[in-house]
Structure 1
């Protein structure tokens, strides 16, 4: 009996005992196939073939998976090929199978390899950083826009993508209105990736959980990139100040920022002036912004892509907010008329005194 036959017998006896959650599918001198099922998202089929002049040459390795991305499988094949060099000249099968099992356990973020690759590619043309923490299965994302940043630690659960990514607090130097929006909308995007809508859609009756990491990160990165460039629709000046130190946190200040449901950001003083002056159309004021906002609250979980035509369309949405509801036309007109009457009275008094 030769070395290959001895290894085949050894794998047949030891594989399922040495490699937890594994199943030996094929064990022959022509092919060894083992299924490793650590979690729902870490399921891998290992196919090993003996080369000519074995063990002088390393095993031929191939991976297949329904749950793990092609990007990861391609990279992991190279990692295992490099590792197999260490086993050349001696029995290789059990050593390589142990390495595969250990690698998957020690690198839980392997299940989001393709998403991480895509996010890094996006950050390379924007601004920010991505740090991986394999032991805690977490990712530290820092997204930047001008002098502003947001940073948070995201945890990838074992049952991902059936379970969404999780995070608690975030470190951010944006005004609180924008911090609440980014954090809240990002969590809503992640939630809708894993929870079926209450009302089933005719076009997609069977809900399937979707990966939430890349969708969430793309929203945060795009929002941070766009904030420093946004204009107040009323005064048409930059909504945010040029430095983070100049951010106004006092809600009584005219430069305090208010984000409307249409997505646009107003200076509080500009909004007050806009809402209190005519015209007063039936149903309330219309946002004067010169384009629709790509992150309007009316868009599907803030993730709808802005079409080319949107860039030239006026906003045309009602100016609505928890604090700034729809105008009552008659009361708004009466208030404006009263204010104008007082102005005229004061002008008459000044003219009389002069």
Structure 2
């Protein structure tokens, strides 16, 4: 194939609007598959071409450096192979670059994948990549606990959310389900910016959305217990003093707070003191590292192993994951995001005055397993006490 034939083949492979240079000395063009998987390619012909390999340069404003280096090394090896056989190189090299951009869904996430690989290898874990399918399988280990994350990226990552799942874990099923649910919630909030579900600030001329830190803080799936919040003032106020009685010392008022998580909007942390996120709409936030490293690894695998029950101060998770947990000792996360044993939390929520603050943070204590209707809880408490008295009376009779 002559040099001119190779130039003709180049023009057929690359749209005319993307070709920047097409001469017997040099070829240059832009190749794009998605908004982020795109690059500029420059091919220069050496003096002894085709018996000497093309000089190949790949440049990109979006692809991570590690991805560019890997792709450059890949196409250079192909060019050397073709040069040894004295074969034309332009068409195979261009097709190889185009196929790499189209088939490798993980290309834009290579910098994040490198960090995840280091995290896994340093802690006895494993990582497996299925690039054509856009799938990452990551096994994380900490002490005796494991978490096998399964993540799928589509062609439009990070504009579109990662599908996060768990193939296997030796955490209790309820805890594993909570981790997966919260991880997906967090991913959805990070990606919200790209779906125009944000506010526009005309003064700053930017769109504002959740940072990764904000998304983590706001991703707890337990909803705000409105009825408990409304009952706080009436429940914690001291009872009125009867007329004519001796004035007693004023009972200290217990301050129960609402979670600052509820003050977060896509605009700001509000009272929580976080940093306002200001970014143009075309700047997407990558979510793999915040979700996997910060949340799943640091907060769950590492953090939960050292977490104790707020009420009884005993360890939540046994050192041996095969130890069977009873329903009473199963760990449960409250609305305020602190952890309790199920029985410990139930004992607090089922006793008067039925509106309590977490002992660790004084945020109103709540979990969906227990009612938020204070009147219902009062009636249940009265019934339980009456039944207990009746049982005692029956026992005394015998």
> TM-score per shorter chain, which class?
0.7 to 0.9
Report if aligned partners of 2:153, 2:163 keep a CA contact under 8 Å in 1.
yes
The residue aligned with 1:130 is 127
Report if aligned partners of 2:147, 2:166 keep a CA contact under 8 Å in 1.
no
In 2, Cα distance between equivalents of 1:152 and 1:169: 5
The residue aligned with 1:271 is 345
Report if aligned partners of 2:151, 2:162 keep a CA contact under 8 Å in 1.
yes
Kindly provide the CA deviation profile for residues 195-246 of structure 1, in whole angstroms up to 9, marking residues without a partner as x: 2374526475254432233333222222222222211111212101222222
Moved more, 199-208 or 40-49: 199-208
Report if aligned partners of 2:101, 2:107 keep a CA contact under 8 Å in 1.
yes
- Structure with more contact order per residue of length (Cα contacts < 8 Å, sep ≥ 6): 2
Report if aligned partners of 2:139, 2:148 keep a CA contact under 8 Å in 1.
yes
The residue aligned with 1:25 is 20
Aligned equivalent of 2:369, options 323, 339, 345: 323
Kindly provide the CA deviation profile for residues 90-129 of structure 1, in whole angstroms up to 9, marking residues without a partner as x: 3332232222223334433222211111222233344532
In 2, Cα distance between equivalents of 1:116 and 1:254: 39
The residue aligned with 2:92 is 95
Q: 1:22 to 1:171 in 2, by over 3 A?
A: farther
Structure 1 residue 257, shift from structure 2 partner:
2.0
In 2, Cα distance between equivalents of 1:28 and 1:117: 38
Kindly provide the CA deviation profile for residues 63-109 of structure 1, in whole angstroms up to 9, marking residues without a partner as x: 12233222211222222222221122533322322222233344332
Aligned equivalent of 2:285, options 210, 222, 225: 210
In 2, Cα distance between equivalents of 1:44 and 1:87: 23
Report if aligned partners of 2:14, 2:29 keep a CA contact under 8 Å in 1.
no
Report if aligned partners of 1:240, 1:247 keep a CA contact under 8 Å in 2.
no
SS of corresponding position for 2:150: strand
Q: 1:136 to 1:70 in 2, by over 3 A?
A: same
Matched residue pairs, number? 310
Structure 1 residue 46, shift from structure 2 partner:
0.9
| 1:288 has 2:342 as partner | no
Moved more, 176-185 or 143-152: 143-152
In 2, Cα distance between equivalents of 1:142 and 1:43: 30
* TM-score (ref. length: structure 1): 0.73
| 1:259 has 2:256 as partner | no
Q: 1:214 to 1:22 in 2, by over 3 A?
A: farther
Report if aligned partners of 1:145, 1:227 keep a CA contact under 8 Å in 2.
no
The residue aligned with 1:242 is 319
Structure 1 residue 19, shift from structure 2 partner:
5.8
In 1, Cα distance between equivalents of 2:339 and 2:65: 41
| 1:220 has 2:291 as partner | no
Structure 1 residue 48, shift from structure 2 partner:
1.2
Structure 2 unpaired stretches of 5+: 208-279
SS of corresponding position for 1:266: strand
In 1, Cα distance between equivalents of 2:67 and 2:112: 10
Please show how residues 302-341 of structure 1 align to structure 2 within 5 Å.
315-324=361-370
Report if aligned partners of 1:161, 1:210 keep a CA contact under 8 Å in 2.
yes
The residue aligned with 2:270 is none
SS of corresponding position for 1:41: coil
The residue aligned with 1:153 is 150
Report if aligned partners of 1:284, 1:327 keep a CA contact under 8 Å in 2.
no
In 2, Cα distance between equivalents of 1:16 and 1:316: 69
Kindly provide the CA deviation profile for residues 145-166 of structure 1, in whole angstroms up to 9, marking residues without a partner as x: 3333232432211122222222
Q: 1:232 to 1:328 in 2, by over 3 A?
A: same
Kindly provide the CA deviation profile for residues 294-322 of structure 1, in whole angstroms up to 9, marking residues without a partner as x: xxxxxxxxxxxxxxxxxxxxx34222222
